[in-house]
Structure 1
């Protein structure tokens, strides 16, 4: 029997480029663990070389290193190759890597594992008496994944949610919805929202003028064909405000111009809508800071209640207030006329009315909201705030 060492294996079947939304979630958890004093090895599914790279972007007495295990299918792989890798072999390379370590980890924390991946990880952890903790961040709406509701990937996700995750030793949940759901299993659960390095995010001083200068809004993300983020509703609200003579600009980062036009079923874009394409993650904060508000409008359904928007946290961290309707746990952090403006629902009429209210705000009111947004992010979304809770959570298995 191998001796257990004081290090945590943070594993997942996908690559972890820190700029992607799911990987930014991984970054926050890894940073919190390092701040709590753990030595963390991130073993991702990406095609990185099989060498350990030290990462030094974290505060605290712990350490972080990264190794790629090539669990994910290679770029350009055909449907058959990709299907065999993701539905049959996922997890085998991670298990072989764990077996090859001179000492066992104290814990295995898995992020993003579907059914086959979890099957291999659970067998290994039980055989080696290592606690397995899963980070659950979504309820997986079939319309958002390749193959749709009846595809094998969605089936694998659902099997993981309902069978494998409840059989892990512990669960880290991104939202109150998921926390409540998994507490019914009787397993230890810790809620941790999306986190990032708020403290070291540079916030530029911005001259905030009064309402006569107009209103600048920003949207950043992927609306998933208007199924997740109701970007078409936001654009139509901009159109109505324009027709009333208000100077308004909506800057859209992410979807292409053609994708945005498709959301509108061929209708022309309002004059004030600018489609600026994808931005490198390093430039997102600066882009958000140039706006008066970011906008996030979603239907209230199980997928949106179970998840938690990373871009909401990033906006507040950038000191940019948010206009949103309250889904998931947003109501814990977004209060009307404080960190932003709250829409009572996701309807066009309500979004338009809130845009009118935003346009009427003077410079002093906007400045106070920016300060409140930044303060909320420092308190609620900085990874350092969750170092002790995560450290205490893991100590249950010492």
Structure 2
């Protein structure tokens, strides 16, 4: 039995339902995105209830992060397939049932939300939420963070996952009452379609992220960190090859790889071994990632410029700056707005092994005072651009401009 939303918690601004088939508040980059947006809403005085994809918790829980003017509570509605569910049942859940449990949860609430915000779910979610919101006269807002490439999806261009995503991106999302876009590219694309749009990059609590910072001894090797799952976006192979080319022995340079295992990387890249300068740690607890990032001199990120990389925005870039760690990267998406060469990090001329190798040589030539200056600049940029409090006013104005729609 799901616990109904308790009306006496609602401020005058009303409450927002933020829904999506993802675990909350931890589990994926999507989870971090939802936490940041939800806390920005709460900072504006809204009460937010996140109906996440996991099956737990069964009753609403407080997020208990900081003391915003509103509140963030969350509940699991069980939309996401569980790991051990048979493949056919997973496919059935995604293509024929997705969104059904979320709509049932919305129907159970004694007071309807002022807005429904949806993150992910593609066409299946939207085909249930759009009619429900129209029926009840409630604005539906979509949080758009990707423009998928066929190479990212099982089945490719004519596979059901890609077709579902494209139907949502091109046809269903523009029919919502508003769009929260993660990048300038998506902002421009939906604004040209006549949508009400606000741009919000990945956001988090910068003050909380900074608490783990540990400075390295300048005499130690320069430490780099890559954290995440490379997928089709991150060019981790180029990073590995550049580090091995610059310092195969590990005397001057160390790269820590968090996420993929040694076996996975060997299989993906056809390798039998890696140089001593590369330390592959595999999957580690989310709580440990920040300490690795904070104790590094730089994180490193290479992506090929393409529609799908320019439409998104790397959460790992934001987390690095928030932890006071400068970034070595080539410029895709909106990174050029926040990464100035020699200030918050180093900009690679391109995404090639040679381009990164040149940037690594530059990094090795930096003094301890220069590295510390970059570290402080990274924190300052994160405070100004990526703290959830920074975006609360714009999101409040955005919601205020979107009124209830005719039934």
Q: Distance in 2 between matches of 1:58 and 1:70?
A: 27
CA change 1:155–1:363 in 2 (3 A) is: same
Shift of 1:20: 1.6
Which residues of 2 match residues 174-189 of structure 1 at below 5 A? Answer: 174-189=182-197
The question of whether the paired residues in 2 share the 8 Å contact of 1:322 and 1:341 is answered with: yes
- Matching of residue 201 in structure 1 with residue 209 in structure 2: yes
Question: Structure 1 residue 299 and structure 2 residue 304: aligned?
Answer: yes
**Alignment counterpart, residue 223 of structure 1, candidates 230, 234, 246:** 230
Deviation of 1:130 after TM superposition, in Å, equals 0.3
TM (norm. structure 1) is 0.94
> Which range is displaced more, 101-110 or 11-20?
11-20
Give me the whole-angstrom Cα distance separating, in 1, the residues matched to 2:151 and 2:84. 23
The C-alpha deviation readout for 1:249-272, integer Å capped at 9, x for no partner, is 100000000122234322531121
CA RMSD of aligned residues (A): 1.9
SS at the partner of 1:213?
coil
Q: What is the SS of the residue equivalent to 1:319?
A: coil
CA contact 2:309–2:332 (8 Å) conserved in 1: yes
* Matched residues, number: 393
Partner of 1:396: 401
What is the aligned partner in structure 2 of residue 55 from structure 1?
Answer: 63
* Correspondences of 1:1-398 after superposition (within 5 Å): 6-204=14-212, 206-210=214-218, 213-224=220-231, 227-242=232-247, 247-398=252-403
For structure 2, the 5+ residue unaligned runs are: 1-6
For structure 1, list consecutive stretches of 5 or more residues without a partner in the other structure: none
How far is 1:93 from its partner? 1.4
Matched residue SS, 2:138? coil
**What displacement does 1:81 show?**
1.2
Q: TM-score, normalised by structure 2?
A: 0.92
**CA 1:50–1:207: 2 relative to 1, 3 Å:** closer
Q: 2:122 touches 2:168 (CA, 8 Å); kept in 1?
A: yes
Q: How far apart, CA to CA, are the structure 2 residues paired with 1:243 and 1:69?
A: 49
Structure 1 residue aligned with 2:3: none
Deviates further, 329-338 or 97-106 = 97-106
> For residues 5 and 194 of structure 1, do their structure 2 counterparts lie closer, same or farther at Cα, with a shift above 3 Å needed?
closer
CA distance, structure 1, for counterparts of residue 311 and residue 167 of structure 2: 17
3-state SS, counterpart of residue 72 of structure 1: coil
